[in-house]
Amino acid sequence: MQDRTQEGKESTIYQYQLIRRIRHSLFFTGLYPALLVTYIFYSILTHGWNNIIWLGISAGSVLLVHSIGIYLLCWRNGERLRGCWKFQFQLPRFGWVPATSYTRLDRFRHMFVQLFWLGLFLFAALSPWAAHHAAMHGVVLHLWVLLPQLTLLLRCLRQPGSYLIRFGIRETSIYKQ
């Protein structure tokens, strides 16, 4: 009986202090897919129905670029992809998000900035050889996929990197350890 008491006293207990809770408004959750639908309609009206093929190719290439970029960044840091990132197909986020419940804010910022610039440079580098519509759609879809993370990072700009971030379906929370 005393051994169990000693084990309980020596165990580490993490306590997190909530610093900020960012609720995902219904307006933004509705506006996010509406932006994509508006862009698709605009693209069809200006360039015709054949443009849907380029949209599909660009969407697939954006997801492929993001997947390869996340894999390479995890590989460079010596982490496994399954353990640190997961693909989320649920509003308000669409794309890769941290898989762990608590992630350091500076690590999330670093991965986001790397993925942001990697996608933009890759689509810019491929634009001379790709069709004009494919390169344009690739950049727009790349920015659309990263838009929720960008708005979140802009709202957390003043928070120190040592804080922890936790993603939820209805809210994102920032904690101090």
**Whether 18 contacts 26, CB under 8 Å:** no
* Residue-wise pLDDT tens digits, 101-122: 788 888 888 888 999 999 999 8
Mean of the per-residue pLDDT values of the chain: 82
In the chain, domain spans: 19-176
Q: What is the pLDDT of residue 41?
A: 93
* Residue-wise pLDDT tens digits, 74-98: 888 777 766 677 888 777 777 787 7
Q: How many CA atoms lie within 13 A of 9 on its CB side?
A: 6
Q: What is the pLDDT of residue 167?
A: 83
Amino acid at 157: L
* Residue-wise pLDDT tens digits, 30-75: 888 899 999 999 999 988 888 888 899 999 999 999 888 888 888 8
* 97 strand-pairing partners: 86
What is the C-alpha to C-alpha distance for residues 56 and 110, in angstroms, rounded to an integer?
Answer: 29
Find tokens 């790349």 and name the residue.
142
Higher pLDDT: 168 or 110? It is 110
pTM of the model: 0.83
Measured CA angle at 159 (ends 116, 90), to 5 deg: 50
Q: What is the pLDDT of residue 139?
A: 92
What is the C-alpha to C-alpha distance for residues 113 and 150, in angstroms, rounded to an integer?
Answer: 9
Find tokens 């580098």 and name the residue.
125
Whether residue 6 has pLDDT greater than 50: no
